[in-house]
Amino acid sequence: MKSWIKALLIAAGLFAVLFLQHPRNAFALLCAPPNPIDVLYERSDGIVLAKVEKVARAEDNTIVQVRVLKSYKGVTDNHFSFGESPVYGSYWGPSEKGQTYLFFLRKGDAGWENPLCSPTRKEAEAVKELAFLKGKEIPLNGVPESSGPSGGRVWQLTGGALGLFGLLGYGAYRFTRRRR
């Protein structure tokens, strides 16, 4: 075989080995470590301590509904929802129902969102951040939750009481008509 053909075959073989191999490890997302709390406070549009009430997972997005316990920036509603990545969520993973988190949110065109690599963390793990935020609380709008019945339950109780009094009144009327 001619020497130039050998060189060409060797070069093609090296090209195939070096450039056409699949990478051994691939990382889709590697978040940088979170910034200090003072930088996070400046960069975040909304910061709240909130309890997750519902997590509605979809294929490309997750909607998280929360009850706000304390707001430190941007959010004034007692209850609201925001979008979150269904795979990654924040720096420490997606939000879980029933857990209380310190959320660092961003305001987007579609509303609030918990951005990828957000430094959101559980309340018990956010001691340093909560110490910095102490005294920076903002008031919340809305009626605080009452301990008594509310909404449709009040109408049910009222209707039941009226029905009971109506039956008692009718019984008393029939009783007095029989005695005559």
pLDDT higher than threshold 70 for residue 148: no
Could you read off the pLDDT of 169-180 as tens digits, one per residue? 777 777 777 776
**Averaged pLDDT of the chain:** 79
pLDDT for res 149: 55
Could you read off the pLDDT of 18-38 as tens digits, one per residue? 666 666 655 555 677 788 888
Which domains occur in the chain, in start order? 37-133 (2.40.50.120)
Share of the chain above pLDDT 70, in %: 79
C-alpha 25/C-alpha 176 separation (Å) is: 90
pLDDT for res 159: 73
136 in Cβ contact with 73 (< 8 Å): yes
Q: What pTM value is reported for the model?
A: 0.61
Who wins on pLDDT, 91 or 47? 47
Q: Which string of DSSP letters, residue by residue, matches 44-107?
A: -SEEEEEEEEEEEE-SS-EEEEEEEEEEEES---SEEEEEE-SSS-BTTB---TT-EEEEEEEE
